[in-house]
Structure 1
């Protein structure tokens, strides 16, 4: 038994040396020097695919562990990693997360792993190409910046009751089904109608939950999410997210260099912001595509989306004010929630600069403003649970 333990320890030590070799190669690659990387990869590959695969897995697991400590979440890493290394990244996340019991993971962490298809994932066979991709992935991960910690990393989640929050799964399933239909249809009017129906369901549900949650023994708490933007014109797209967030009692911060928006709010409102963002980003893209104008310059498109976001902010804020008027039970509930959101926001982002959008194409602004005006966003007055 002692001989076996020494052999296993020795083997693990050899794997650690190879993992360090791969990490050193990734440092060189991250610095822009590719010439000496091939030699390092070849040295590791000469030890055999089994040893090389184990070394790559160890190096990637360590890199991910460091990222978790620097505020990154699984969905964040998956959003910024190059597409060609996505399969390898998901394998690495699956391996690293398997070290922790589900109870040691924050609910948001577990939800993101599920969305990425991590539970039950079968890892692909390791090849010579996988080794090159592993070094590329390591180089991409090690240059990612520090981010505010939205939730506790694996192993540090508490088991205390966090209080109520989140959209009812049945409601969320219906909303996502509507948005899936909106994304698949080729007809903007149909997509608009489906998106409006989705908002109607969410608006009604949000305020019913607000009254019901007021009876919970725990004080309200705020959470945070990061929403990753795709496609061009990310600044006006981020302004649309900010408009949706503010209308739903949340606050947001745009990371221009990373292409994401961090949103802080109550769990129910955060989920609503996520699904509304998917819906309205879709409507904005479709409205831009079908705008009858010969001006298709970059300035026009940027101004169109900026005008769209501005008008959506006005319309959603009006709809929110209308939905909450006339029921005094909501006032103390929403006030207490807003205080929790402001406190969480100040903790995560103590040094924030406000940026006001500018446009250089008034035709685009007017067209976007008009398109947002035509969208049917105002639901009927929601029924307040009593």
Structure 2
């Protein structure tokens, strides 16, 4: 049994190990005992703070080595614990991040850290726990309990398929975009922001359809640049996108619809609350942008429909909303596929072999001349990239099963398709790889 007479480093390490190894049946007792030891002495609290950060940095590093990423660890805290642990997770990720210069991190890793606002704000490691407790109005015991619960949740995570370079072990991808965002992506962001904010469904539909066409053109330009030697050849990459309850199945269907229209594949890890999207870098950027926007639009439309009553006067049910979102995703799949097919046909017809004119505004993805179509034509280039994505999925996830999301409310289905027609943008079976 540990005691407050132990050196602080040993005390903290033993407390964390005891909680991580505790059986579920006696977990509360073990956590209370360990937290009491850590919080017992105000004089030793700064030392506990320093030692706990050291243990946490090593724990986070082990998660990176097991394939997890910053957004994943925060998602675990949000799904399994509470707001205090979420805030603590961000800070512990920031503490571990001090070991890695930003320039050595993968682009998407940097974006995750920036979106989480994971940066050290405390003046010293000894001051971290006291300052955190003051910020969140916690006593020492409550904060020690929260920290132990979070570190246990992370310690129990199994290895997952990596989706990008790990800090300190791999250099950034050689083919990743240069600093600054291509002009095309800036235009797409602006269109989607307008689609989310407008109160006119027809305008939202037109803006979203235009955004998908621009995404398809951007993807085609990137493919032609790689095929023509204008950019270093790259391989498919992968990103994780969180998909949580409620209605995680329909949300995953919506993501799958967006991914399919942008030549990507989706694999759903239901138990962890995320999907892995596999594709080429430009296409992955498009999927993240469009899915986020469509989810905002779909959720708003669902709540508007769900605020009313059924024809018999009963309140809208969970089955209605589930069916609404399934129908929304199915209709979106059709409309996005139409926009992508239209952009592809225009690109193939408008830019003959060796030509630099045609699609869109006369500029490539970064504002320069449009890439020339290889002698074999555009479609073989796109087919080769699709095959490369399928091969990557097969290597990353050799054992996949399909999951079907069912509909049980006919009225929800009808209203969901109508909302998709109004709000924004092939065909598929509705099956999602898992």
Q: Same fold (TM over 0.5)?
A: yes
Counterpart check, 1:53 vs 2:46: no
Match of 1:333 among 369, 381, 387: 381
Q: Secondary structure at the match of 1:136?
A: helix
Greater CA deviation, 113-122 or 253-262?
113-122
* SS across alignment from 1:219: coil
Distance 1:273 1:265 in 2: 9
In structure 1, what is the equivalent of residue 400 of structure 2? 352
Corresponding residue for residue 23 of structure 1: 17
Per the TM alignment, residue 187 of structure 1 is displaced from its structure 2 partner at its CA by 6.0
Alpha-carbon offset, residue 356 of structure 1:
2.5
Supply the RMSD in Å over aligned alpha carbons.
Answer: 2.9
Contact 1:78 1:89 in 2 (8 A): yes
Are 1:370 and 2:364 matched, yes or no? no
- Relative distance call for 1:164 and 1:173 in structure 2 (3 A) is closer
Between 78-87 and 273-282, report the one with greater CA deviation. Answer: 78-87
1:246 is the counterpart of 2:256: no
1:193-230 CA-partner distances (Å, limit 9, x unpaired): 55445434433433333323332453331111111124
Most deviating of 252-261 and 202-211: 202-211
Runs (5+) with no aligned partner, structure 2: 1-5, 134-139, 353-372, 426-434
Name the residue aligned to 2:159.
146
Note if 1:78 corresponds to 2:96.
Answer: no
Kindly provide the CA deviation profile for residues 211-254 of structure 1, in whole angstroms up to 9, marking residues without a partner as x.
Answer: 23332453331111111124511101101101110111000011
CA contact (8 A) 1:244 1:276 kept: yes
1:22 and 1:209 map into 2 onto residues whose CA distance is 48
Cα gap change, 1:365 to 1:38, in 2 (>3 Å): same
- What stretches of structure 1 of length at least 5 have no aligned partner? 1-11, 378-386
1:307 is aligned to 2:327: yes
| Structure 1 stretch displaced more, 240-249 or 340-349 | 340-349
**1:8-50 CA deviation, whole Å, 9 max, x = no partner?**
xxxx974144223223134337665212322222222345111
The separation in 2 between residues aligned to 1:44 and 1:70, in whole angstroms, is 28
The number of residue pairs the alignment matches comes to 366
| TM-score, scaled to structure 2 | 0.76
Moved more, 169-178 or 348-357: 169-178
Task: Provide the secondary structure at the position in 1 that maps to 2:404.
Answer: coil
Q: Distance in 2 between matches of 1:148 and 1:168?
A: 28
1:58/1:23 CA distance change after superposition, 3 Å: farther
Q: How does 1:3-152 map to 2 (within 5 A)?
A: 14-28=8-22, 33-46=27-40, 48-82=44-78, 83-119=83-119, 121-122=121-122, 125-127=131-133, 128=140, 129-152=142-165
1:263 counterpart SS class: strand
The aligned residue for residue 219 of structure 2 is: 206
From 259, 267, 287, give the equivalent of 2:301.
287
User: Which residue of 1 is the match for residue 271 of structure 2?
Assistant: 257
SS at match of 2:34: helix
SS in 2 for 1:118: coil
**1:361–1:167: structure 2 CA closer, same or farther, 3 Å change rule?**
farther
**Most deviating of 243-252 and 170-179:** 170-179
The whole-number CA distance in structure 2 between the counterparts of 1:25 and 1:85 is 16
Tell me the SS of whatever aligns to 2:251: helix
Q: Give the deviation of 1:298 after TM superposition.
A: 1.6
Question: Larger deviation: 77-86 or 100-109?
Answer: 100-109
Q: Is the 8 A contact 2:68 2:160 kept in 1?
A: yes
Residue 311 of structure 1 contacts residue 369 of structure 1 at CA under 8 Å; is this kept in 2? yes
Cα-to-partner distance string for 1:329-384 (whole Å, 9 max, x where unaligned):
3223312322221222112111000123322222222222232233443xxxxxxx
For the 8 Å contact 2:206–2:424, the answer to whether it is kept is yes
Distance 1:179 1:84 in 2: 33
| Alignment partners' CA distance in 2, 1:176 and 1:119 | 26
Q: Which moved more, 1:135-144 or 1:28-37?
A: 28-37
The answer to whether the Cα contact below 8 Å between 2:91 and 2:120 also exists between their aligned partners in 1 is no
- Which of 19-28 and 76-85 deviates more? 19-28
Give the whole-Å Cα distance in 1 for the aligned partners of 2:13 and 2:413.
53
Q: CA deviation at 1:192?
A: 4.6
Secondary structure (helix, strand or coil) at the match of 2:405 reads coil
Question: Match of 2:283?
Answer: 269
State whether residues 193 and 293 of structure 2, in contact with CA within 8 Å, keep that contact through their aligned partners in structure 1: no
Of 201, 225, 238, the residue aligned with 1:224 is 238
